[in-house]
Amino acid sequence: MKAFRALCRQLGYSRASAEPSHRAQLSTSSSCFGRKKRTNPYEGVDQGKYSDLVQSVLSSRGPTQTPETLWEEDALLYGPVSRAQLSRQDQEAKSPRNWFPIFNTERDLEPDPRHPSVPLKIPLRRNRVPSVTRVLQHTMSPEQVFYLERWKQRMIMELGEEGFAEYTSNIFLQGKQFHEALESILLPQGNFRERADSLLKCGYIESVQHVLKDVSQVRALESAVQHETLKYAGLLDCVAEYQGKLCVIDWKTSEKPKPFIRNTFDNPLQVVAYMGAINHDANYSFQVQCGLIVVAYKDGSPAHPHFMDADLCAQYWTKWLLRLEEYTEKEKSQTVQKPA
């Protein structure tokens, strides 16, 4: 629009110059007294504050947007979200209706020194109970769904449908190779030992080297768990001692630094869900009271380990029970709505 106005002004000037001088002077004098000076509505805008945002919008090959950067962008434009305080009645309503403990009082808290030398690796069976991942995906908050869909649409605009499919496929493949390399390293006598030597050059493995030094006494690797009472299942990454404490360990990859546990979104719920299941699964004789989320980075920068003690795990366990109840209610309502 600005370019069009400038062109019109140039055309008007060229036509005026071709007419007699007295008409040009008359036109000039009348325009001086007849037209009001236009003011730029954007003069009062803090251009320095929004320079990064303008650059990202105008650049067709700017940095890849993630849900985290979208939240930061909205916070810059509209300010931080002001969350209303829950009333006491609402807080009481947020308690699970069917409480079930995360820890098993019938199991010894002390680790069994006679644990098998080879970590457990129980295959995941096909059954009708939902997986932990499915429960979390189907109970995301509207805010999470909005930003996830917004990020997806922006990625498709930048990469195209095929490019986005290739991007997600590569992310999945990198995560799979990362877990295979970790399994090769953590197994005492694994079949992937030779392959692990080549995968050690991977940035993700380099990123977690300082964490692996504190990991010992591996009890389970890529092993299935199922909670018979609460009716859910999952496939955990690892159960091992971290700095002398037995933990459910979840290995994650990220393109963006996540120095705080709040940056990991629903990952703590995933950890405590596995923990509650393993503590009540007959396939496991030990009990776990701590969790660890390790966020590794492709460029090899040091990973962020987020340790969860028993108290913190108990807090997240309450949130997991609420999500599980929400999922169950949604499934029941969909079953009722289906025609017979």
β-strands 290-297, 245-254 pairing: parallel
Q: Give the angle 16-17-19 at the CA atoms, nearest 5°.
A: 70
Catalytic residue among 46, 237, 298, 299: 237
Catalytic residue among 2, 49, 112, 252: 252
Residue 323, helix vs strand vs coil? helix
Are the C-beta atoms of residues 231 and 327 closer than 8 Å to each other?
no
Q: Using CA atoms, how far apart are residues 121 and 215, in angstroms rounded to an integer?
A: 18
Sequence-ordered list of residues with C-beta below 8 angstroms from that of 97, at least 6 positions apart, any chain: 325
Reference 184, options 222, 225, 138; nearest CA is: 222
Catalytic residue among 36, 37, 52, 250: 250
The conformation of residue 25, written as its DSSP 8-state character, comes to H
> Hunting for tokens 């009348």 — which residue is that?
30
- Helix, strand, coil: what percent of the chain each, to 5? 50, 15, 35
Per the annotation, the verdict on 74 as an active-site residue is no
User: Which neighbouring-strand residues pair with 301?
Assistant: none
Q: Please provide the DSSP assignment of 181-235 as one string.
A: HHHHHHSTT-TTHHHHHHHTTSHHHHHTHHHHTTEEEEEEEEEEEEETTTTEEEE
Per the annotation, the verdict on 252 as an active-site residue is yes
Are the C-beta atoms of residues 184 and 212 closer than 8 Å to each other?
no
> Hunting for tokens 């730029």 — which residue is that?
40
87: amino acid identity, one letter: S
Q: Please report how the helices 142-186 and 67-78 are oriented relative to each other, as an axis angle in degrees rounded to 10.
A: 140
Q: Give the angle 275-330-169 at the CA atoms, nearest 5°.
A: 65
Retrieve residue 195's tokens.
Answer: 């392959």
Per the annotation, the verdict on 299 as an active-site residue is no
Which residues carry out catalysis? 237, 250, 252
